[in-house]
């Protein structure tokens, strides 16, 4: 796998080695050994999948400590714009984001460490999105910041009149009103 660094430390784009021939293609979508060597010792315990149609925007979600999660995400059908926002108090990149297009053709994956809010918008007619988490889902630890917060400067590549949000995602605080449970100076993996 090829690791591509982004403007925010530890938020990484991962490109697998894809082997193509007349039959199609093959690639190793995940290797715990190689992930540990190249990214870090993160042990994933839960896989999730969602299917969404064009214009759907999900996020910006996280789980509060002690149930915080790292995620390794990919789009296996269609195309999404995937975004990670730094919400660690005291971080030099607090409130900044990294956005990457994940498609069924580029096979890219995106690693979002703990202390980041995560969301995506669907750019194709349909998208099937998969993600690994390193902590189990705990509904009582659900958190979020507004996916439509203009101060974040995210271009979701969806016209406003075409966006589809869940009721829950319309109720999250703007970043300026948000009290983050994450601290940049605390090791979130302990």
Q: Which residues are catalytic?
A: 61, 131
40-67: burial string, b at 16+ Cβ within 10 Å, e else: eebebeeeeeeebebbbbbbbbbbeeeb
CA angle, 145 as apex, 162 and 42 as ends, to 5°? 110
Nearest to 85 by CA among 164, 8, 176: 8
**Per-residue exposure over 4-31, b if at least 16 CB sit within 10 Å of its own CB, e if not:** eebebebbbbbebeeeeeeeeeeeeeee
DSSP one-letter code for 173: B
How many C-beta atoms surround the C-beta of residue 129 within 10 A?
22
CB 111 within 8 A of CB 70: yes
Q: What is the DSSP letter of 174?
A: P
Asked whether the beta carbons of 57 and 147 are under 8 A apart, the reply is yes
């Amino acid at each position: 796998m090829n690791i591509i660094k982004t403007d925010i430390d530890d938020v990484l784009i991962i490109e697998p080695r894809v082997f193509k021939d007349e039959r199609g293609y093959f690639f190793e979508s995940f290797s715990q050994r190689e992930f540990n060597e190249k990214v870090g010792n993160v042990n994933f315990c839960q896989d999730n999948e969602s299917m969404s149609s064009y214009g759907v925007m999900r996020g910006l979600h996280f789980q509060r400590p002690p149930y915080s999660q790292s995620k390794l995400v990919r789009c296996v059908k269609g195309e999404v714009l995937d975004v990670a926002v730094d919400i660690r108090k005291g971080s030099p990149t607090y409130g900044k984001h990294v956005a990457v297009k994940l498609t069924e053709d580029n096979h890219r994956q995106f690693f979002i460490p703990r202390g980041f809010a995560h969301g995506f918008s669907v750019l194709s007619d349909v998208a099937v999105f998969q993600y690994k988490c390193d902590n189990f889902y705990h509904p009582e630890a659900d958190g979020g910041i507004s996916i439509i917060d203009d101060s974040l400067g995210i271009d979701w590549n969806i016209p406003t009149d075409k966006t589809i949000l869940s009721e829950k995602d319309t109720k999250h605080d703007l970043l300026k009103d948000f009290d983050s449970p994450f601290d940049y100076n605390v090791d979130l993996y302990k």
